[in-house]
Amino acid sequence: GHDAGDRILRALGGLLTDVLRKRDLAARPGGEEFVVYLPGLHRDAAWQVGERLRIAAEDRLSTADRTVTLSVGVAPRLPGASFSALLKAADRAVYRAKESGRNRVEIAAMAEIEGYDHPERTAASSITALSKPHREKGYSAARLFNKTGEGGNAVVLYVRL
């Protein structure tokens, strides 16, 4: 039911805290999804983080009544790409993961990211559930994204139950 789903979402938030580095940013834009910003990581390292999250969720959050699975999309930062473009590309990768049987990590193709360089609005503005340490420091997803500098290594993970 609804209460069980809420417990799983809270547990997944705790799992993100356990698996991610202190400098990473996790947010819940709504529903059964989380966005994770990984500054300083390359695509393959981010894929490994997604795999660790996926495996840990299944191992630690599943019960006798329900198996918890994650579908994860990875989008690496490219020069000129906006945060919104990365988020959209990672979201498309999540849909590919779901269409390919769920419970897997998919990496966005470069063409998916380059095609979204001119978003109408910044997706970061719709992400309000930043982690407490980041909120206390006045960070936003867009501010952290801009801190890495143009062409800096960074990756967005889109995680869906």
> Whole-prediction pTM value?
0.75
Among residues 32, 58, 112, 150, which one is catalytic? 32
136 assigned to active site: no
E runs forming strands in the chain: 25-30, 33-39, 71-76, 105-107, 154-160
Packing angle, helices 2-19 and 43-61, rounded to 10: 130
pLDDT in tens, 88-136: 888 899 999 999 999 999 998 887 775 544 333 334 333 434 445 544 5
Name the percent of the chain lying above pLDDT 90: 29
Structure token pair of residue 24: 């990473």
For residues 75 and 90, is the Cβ–Cβ distance under 8 A?
Answer: yes
